[in-house]
């Protein structure tokens, strides 16, 4: 990676993409004591997870010569502007046009010290102590581990592990954002279904009440004899069908309706054994 690429990543530090994160991991692997990629990764992690994830922060803290400055870089935009200006200054002063055309790599380890801001005499000791205390609280719970020599680790295994860490972090952030969207959509769907179900239950209840009233009316009518059916022939038909009780009721009503024939209907009741 050359200086132009580093400057480009610094300019996009507030919205790093997946490829840029992987490039920073590779840069960290090539220059394990180079602080800039660690700080940029920690800043990316801080913005995406809103301070909840601190894996890259621990990486940066292990090799940081000035943790107060590192914390300011992660949480503020001003130090990054200073870094960009310093990188451009070193790039213009240290390379000729011929070297730029040949795209020679920048020796990042040699000029890293020039990127660190010089401490001012006016710095408030109390403010510095406060920043260091806050950073210490953030790092509490995960002890610092000694820096291992990258040369002692298998290059292929380390590269694979670093690559997957970046992949896992990016995928975790994406899944979290996607889950929030899906949860909102699911909640809206459930609310719609509940509202619709309540409406359906209410309509079904009204229909059931209406059907029950209709059935009640029909059952009452079926138990009442229609005056137009009160006839001797209908009573005889009921006797043949075995419905003797209804036939008897018809004969009795005919006796009331035609009192002059009451004896005749009484004889029919006896003959029919009602």
Which residues of the chain are modeled with pLDDT < 70? 1-3, 12-14, 51, 78-80, 83-84, 87-88, 90-123, 141-163, 180-181, 197-205, 208-209, 211-229, 274
pLDDT at position 219, please?
A: 46
Map out the domains of the chain as residue ranges: 3-152, 227-271
What is the Cα–Cα distance from 56 to 75, expressed in whole angstroms? 14
pLDDT at position 3, please?
A: 67
pTM of the model: 0.33
pLDDT digits (tens, 9 = 90+) for 134-152: 877 777 755 555 555 555 5
**DSSP-based three-state secondary structure for 16:** coil
What is the Cα–Cα distance from 114 to 36, expressed in whole angstroms? 12
User: To 5 degrees, how large is the angle CA 33–CA 19–CA 178?
Assistant: 115
pLDDT digits (tens, 9 = 90+) for 10-57: 776 667 788 888 888 888 788 888 888 888 888 888 888 776 777 778
Which tokens belong to 245?
């009780």
- What's the full length of the chain, in residues? 274
């Amino acid at each position: 990676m050359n200086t132009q690429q580093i400057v480009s990543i610094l300019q996009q530090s507030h919205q790093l993409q997946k490829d840029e994160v992987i490039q920073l991991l590779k840069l960290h692997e090539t220059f394990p004591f180079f602080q800039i990629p660690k700080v940029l990764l920690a800043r990316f992690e801080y913005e995406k997870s809103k301070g909840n994830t601190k894996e890259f922060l621990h990486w940066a803290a292990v090799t940081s010569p000035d943790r107060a400055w590192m914390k300011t870089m992660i949480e503020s935009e001003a130090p990054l502007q200073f870094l960009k200006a310093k990188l451009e200054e070193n790039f213009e002063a240290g390379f000729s046009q011929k070297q730029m055309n040949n795209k020679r790599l920048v020796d990042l380890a040699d000029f890293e010290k020039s990127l660190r801001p010089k401490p001012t005499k006016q710095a408030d000791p109390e403010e510095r102590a406060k920043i260091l205390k806050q950073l210490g609280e953030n790092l509490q719970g995960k002890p610092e581990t000694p820096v291992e020599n990258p040369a002692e680790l298998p290059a292929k295994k380390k590269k694979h592990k670093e690559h997957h860490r970046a992949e896992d972090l990016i995928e975790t952030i994406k899944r979290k954002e996607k889950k929030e969207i899906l949860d909102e959509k699911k909640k809206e769907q459930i609310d719609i279904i509940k509202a619709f179900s309540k409406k359906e239950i209410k309509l079904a209840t009204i229909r059931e009440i209406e059907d029950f009233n209709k059935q009640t009316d029909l059952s009452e009518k079926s138990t009442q004899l229609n005056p137009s059916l009160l006839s001797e022939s209908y009573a005889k038909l009921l006797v043949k069908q075995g419905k003797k009780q209804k036939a008897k009721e018809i004969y009795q009503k005919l006796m009331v309706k035609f009192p002059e024939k009451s004896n005749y209907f009484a004889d029919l009741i006896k003959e029919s054994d009602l």
